């Protein structure tokens, strides 16, 4: 970790040494991966969205994007259950919508910010 300039790991345990916790801080250059940069719509902050949800909204400000493309720009290796549930939650709460709402499994389906 020192060769790469990463912060030192931290180790914690209880007095009886029943467990230990290793904390590996993220390298300063890598902290922006998957995080929203800049301001996200004001209503999003009021709803207490997590960093992944904010990042999704930030990327969608640039235009419609498919789930696969979105997973890639967020640095995810695949579309996990968490990722899929996050997209469904954003739809449910009115932040995003399908580009083809009448056909959710459309082969060219993309997500976009909800039109006001």
Q: pLDDT digits over 3-43, tens only?
A: 777 788 888 888 888 888 888 777 666 554 444 444 444 55
More confident residue, 30 or 61: 61
Segments forming the whole domain that contains residue 65:
48-113
Mean pLDDT of the chain: 81
pLDDT in tens, 46-58: 457 888 899 999 9
Which residues partner with 98 through β-bridges? 111
Q: How far is CA 71 from CA 7, 46, 101, 115, in A?
A: 27, 25, 20, 22
| Domain assignment present for 81 | yes
Cβ atoms 36, 54 nearer than 8 A: yes
CATH number of residue 83's parent domain = 1.10.10.10
| Domain assignment present for 60 | yes
Residue 6 CA to residue 29 CA, distance in Å, equals: 9
- pLDDT band for position 78 (cuts 50, 70, 90): confident
Using alpha carbons only, what angle is made at residue 74 by residues 103 and 92, rounded to the nearest 5 degrees?
40
């Amino acid at each position: 970790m020192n060769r790469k300039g990463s912060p030192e790991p931290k180790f914690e345990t209880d007095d009886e040494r029943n467990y230990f916790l290793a904390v590996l801080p993220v390298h300063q250059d890598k902290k922006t991966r998957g995080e929203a940069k800049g301001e996200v719509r004001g209503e999003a902050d009021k709803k207490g969205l997590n960093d992944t949800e904010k990042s999704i909204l930030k990327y969608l400000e640039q235009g419609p994007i498919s789930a696969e493309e979105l997973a890639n720009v967020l640095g995810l290796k695949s579309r996990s259950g968490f990722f899929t549930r996050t997209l469904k939650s954003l739809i449910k709460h009115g932040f995003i919508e399908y580009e083809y709402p009448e056909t959710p499994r459309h082969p060219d389906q993309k997500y976009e910010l909800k039109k006001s």
